[in-house]
Amino acid sequence: MDYNSLVGQICSIENNTLESKNILKRLKNYKRKAVVLGVTGSPGSGKSTLINCLISEYRKKNKKIGVLLVDPSSPKTGGALLGDRIRMQTHALDKNVFIRSFATRGCVGGLCKAIKGAIKVLDKSGKEIIIVETVGSGQNETAIKKIADIVILVATADAIDDIQLMKAGILDVADILVVNKTDLNKSISVEHLKSLLDIPIILTVATENKGVTELADVINQKLKSI
C-alpha cells in the first residue's frame, strides 16, 4: 500500500466516514501479524524521544515501523497541537516508517477511537512493529493494555519516589518500566525498584540514546514469552 493510500484510509477512519466502515469491514477477519508496543507515562517523561530512539534501533534491523501518537484535545476548541511527531523528524523521509498523530477528541484512557482501526490498516500494509504512544497519562489511564502486546511505562528519574503511588493503577498494566532522564538523578537504586516491582526496569537517557539497545533486547525477550 502506498503512502497516500495509507494516509487516506487512516484519515477516513479517524473522521468516521462512510468509507471507513467499508475499510474496517474488509479488515474484520484479518489476523494481526505486527507486534504492537504501547508506550505510556506522564507528560514530560520523554516518551516521544524514547520512541524516536526505538525507531532507529528497529530500522537497523530493517523492520518496517508504524507509529501512532495520541495528543490531548483542547477542552475549549477541540483541537490538538499534534506535536509529538516533531521529535521524530529524523525519520520523516524514511518510506519504511509511517508516523501519524491523533487527537483524543474527548476519549478517555489515554487513546482515541481511531487507534484500533489505524492499527489494522498499518498491519495490513506490512508494518512489522506498530508503536502506540498514549497522551501524557496519569494513574488510571490503562486502556493501552487492551491493544498492545507489551506496555512500556516511562517515568522520569526525578519522579521515581512516586512509583509506589502508581502501583494501584497504570503500573499494574506495565510490562516494562523505563526510568528516563537518569542523567538528572544518578542516585537511582535499581535494587530498590526491583524490591517494589516484578517487571524489568531499564534506565535510559533518551536524548543521548543511552539504554535503548537494552530496552529493545528486553522487549524481544518479552515477545518470545507471549
Would you call 202 helix, strand, or coil by DSSP? Answer: strand
| Beta carbons within 8 Å of 164's beta carbon, 6+ residues apart | 196
Q: What is the number of alpha carbons within 13 Å of residue 139 lying toward its C-beta?
A: 8
pLDDT in tens, 189-205: 778 788 878 899 999 99
What are the backbone dihedrals phi and psi of residue 37, each rounded to the nearest 5 degrees, phi first? -110, 125
Cα 185 from Cα 192, distance rounded (Å): 15
Task: Indicate if the pLDDT at residue 207 is higher than 90.
Answer: yes
Distance CA 154, CA 62 (A): 25
Distance in angstroms (rounded) separating the CA atoms of residues 197 and 171: 9
Mean per-residue pLDDT for 20-27? Answer: 93
Per-residue pLDDT tens for 42-57? 888 999 999 999 999 9
Strands (E), 50-165: 65-71, 97-103, 129-133, 150-156
- Structural domains of the chain sorted by starting position, each given as residue range(s) with its CATH number in brackets: 31-224 (3.40.50.300)
Q: Find the Cα–Cα–Cα–Cα dihedral 205, 208, 211, 214, rounded to 10°.
A: 150
The per-residue pLDDT for 80 is 45
**By the 8 A CB rule, do 104 and 9 touch?**
no
DSSP assignments along 132-175, one per residue: EEPSS--TT--GGGGT-SEEEEEEEGGGGGGHHHHTTTGGGG-S
Provide the pLDDT confidence category of residue 108 given band limits of 50, 70 and 90. low
pLDDT at 128: 98
